[in-house]
Amino acid sequence: MILIWMLCILLAGGILCWLAAQRQPLLARWIALITVSADLLIACWLFPVYQAFPDNSSWFINYQANWIPALGVSFHVALDGFSHILLLLTYFLGILAVLCSWKEVRERTGFYFFNLLWTLAGISGVFIAMDLFLFYFCWEIMLIPMFLLIILWGDVRRHYAAYKFFLFTQAGSLLMLLAILALYFIHGQQTGNYTFDYFALLQTALTPSTAMWTMLGFLIAFVIKLPAVPFHNWLPDAHGEAPTAGSLLLAGLLLKTGAYGIIRFVLPIFPQAAADIAPWMILIGVAGIIYGALLAFSQTDLKRLIAYTSVSHMGFVLVGVFSFSSIAMQGVVMQILTHGLSTGALFLMAGMLKERLHTRDITKMGGLWTSMPRLGGMAILLTMASAGLPALGNFIAEFFILLGTFSNNPVLSIIATLGLILSAVYSLRMMQKVFMGPLISTVPVVDLSARELIILTALSISIVVLGLFPQPVIDTVHHLSTIHPLLHE
């Protein structure tokens, strides 16, 4: 029941933060930090357990208990290597989200950390739920506290951004709910067993037209969250107005739930329908790579610039998943990890600059390297990672994706390569506008504090380690090559 304990720790920690802050606001911060750290330690402890498992290509934790037996709903959670890596990412970024909020959040501290921890609990539930009703339940739990984080602690246009985020995501969620119910009833009519269990629904026989329509219900929900063009419109506003920790969780984790959903549900349950729509999805992915990069180059708002880089980088995920190549799939998992780390770090950097300069406009920055050499040094490493330079994790991810895609679709893979060039262009423009040239701002600024330096150093080391030693991640997710019958080496 260790997975249930991990969820309960976060849920109980959130409630404790809310109650403790009524007497001592500082206590809520420490409770949040200890809570997420405890889950990270448990997830790290599970790593050698997984390595010692006789067959590390299967589910090494699988727990199921009745929840609503009359409807075929169970509390079914399970963990394989892919889910385990995503849990490690969730709790690592969760700790950094708590740390970066340490001094930024001064109002309703307890309720803030309650929402932060419940968002992490919802994300964790999404990564381990093996009952589709439970999966949908966690998907919705993840949405509501993030909506509150944006609307209560966001920037000037936070109401507009929060409602836009909610409506886009909720529209996709309703389509997914209809698709889940369709699977539930079709499977029940075929077998007489009405259940939401993932492993049972994998055996459901669907006609081609039914499979396509049902798959689209899942797929649209996941590409909205990813987000893919043309469903990306909510992302820049949500990122631009969210508090720093909210942007970190959005970029590092919430977008990854869309990628996870496609890999875990769309490909295994609807293999033929996924194969039929694959060329179109690769085309949409390539369009997102180019379009997101061009829009990133044109931005003057630092957080919106970084948000559009996410649209571009998530295009690589879509291309890799639907290329049906095991090498590209390994690259997709690396992209999920490295994008969460590098783009999350860039949002933290943007929040630190906003806190000091009270603006996100890069035309009002410039020459900051002189007064902030430590942040400037970190920023150049992070922009190099975003641009996909060798020896950093992003390079491994995008190289694997392009290599795997080239054998299936060489033309689109070559076009997608332009995204690497464009990412270098907008990354260098960002560095030049913010840190190079003459000093523009008259506001006195101080360099990174010890807390901020620890946060960015942890992220920077992680990116370098993934770039130099990607094999442990690749070994852990090697079993993903079995999720689709058309997947090839």
Amino acid in the structure at residue 482: T
Q: pLDDT (tens digit, 0 to 9) for every residue of the chain, 489 residues total?
A: 889 999 999 999 999 999 998 888 889 999 999 999 999 999 999 877 766 665 555 778 889 999 899 899 999 999 988 899 999 999 999 999 999 998 888 888 899 999 999 999 999 999 999 999 999 999 999 999 999 999 999 888 899 999 999 999 999 999 999 999 999 999 999 988 899 999 999 988 889 999 999 999 999 999 999 889 889 899 999 988 999 999 999 999 999 999 999 999 999 999 999 999 999 999 999 999 999 999 999 999 999 999 999 999 999 999 999 998 888 999 999 999 999 999 999 999 999 998 888 888 898 888 888 888 899 999 999 999 988 888 888 999 999 999 989 888 899 999 999 988 999 999 999 999 998 878 777 777 888 889 999 999 999 999 999 999 998 888 877 777 666 666 655
Distance CA 419, CA 423 (A): 6
Question: Half-sphere exposure of 336 toward its Cβ, with a 13 Å CA cutoff?
Answer: 33
- E strand or H helix that includes residue 61: strand 61-68
Give the pLDDT confidence score for residue 180 in this predicted structure: 95
Cβ(328)–Cβ(400) under 8 Å?
Answer: yes
Cβ(219)–Cβ(266) under 8 Å?
Answer: yes
Distance separating the N- and C-terminal Cα atoms of the chain: 36
Cβ(280)–Cβ(314) under 8 Å?
Answer: no
Using DSSP's 3-state secondary structure scheme, residue 67 falls into strand
Q: Which residue(s) pair with 74 in the sheet? A: 66
Q: Tell me the pLDDT of the chain averaged across its residues.
A: 90
Look at residues 32, 74, 72, 96 and name the one whose alpha carbon lies nearest to residue 352: 96
Token pair of 390 as six digits: 């060798």
Cα distances (Å, whole numbers) of residue 248 to 145, 231, 243, 398: 14, 20, 9, 21
Q: 3-state SS string over 285-319? A: HHHHHHHHHHHHHHCCEHHHHHHHHHHHHHHHHHH
Distance CA 214, CA 106 (A): 46
DSSP-assigned letter for residue 79: E
Buried b (16+ CB within 10 A) or exposed e, 320-339: bbbbbbbbbbbbbbbbbbbb
| Angle at alpha carbon of residue 79, lines to 75 and 82, rounded to 5° | 135
Distance CA 322, CA 405 (A): 9
Query: In residues, how long is the chain?
Result: 489
Alpha helix (H) ranges present in 361-482? 368-371, 373-386, 393-406, 410-435, 450-468, 471-476
Look at residues 10, 30, 14 and name the one whose alpha carbon lies nearest to residue 90: 10
Give the pLDDT confidence score for residue 51 in this predicted structure: 64
Give the pLDDT confidence score for residue 448 in this predicted structure: 86
DSSP-assigned letter for residue 131: B
Give long-range contacts, CB 8 A cutoff, 24+ apart: 367-371.
367/435, 367/436, 367/437, 367/438, 367/439, 367/440, 367/441, 368/434, 368/435, 368/439, 368/441, 368/445, 369/435, 369/436, 370/439, 371/439, 371/444, 371/445, 371/446, 371/447
Following DSSP, what letter does each residue of 331-385 receive, concatenated? HHHHHHHHHHHHHHHHHHHHHHHHHHHS--BGGG---HHHH-HHHHHHHHHHHHH
Distance CA 426, CA 305 (A): 9
- What global pTM score does this model have? 0.94
Domain definitions of the chain by residue range: 1-174+226-259, 271-489
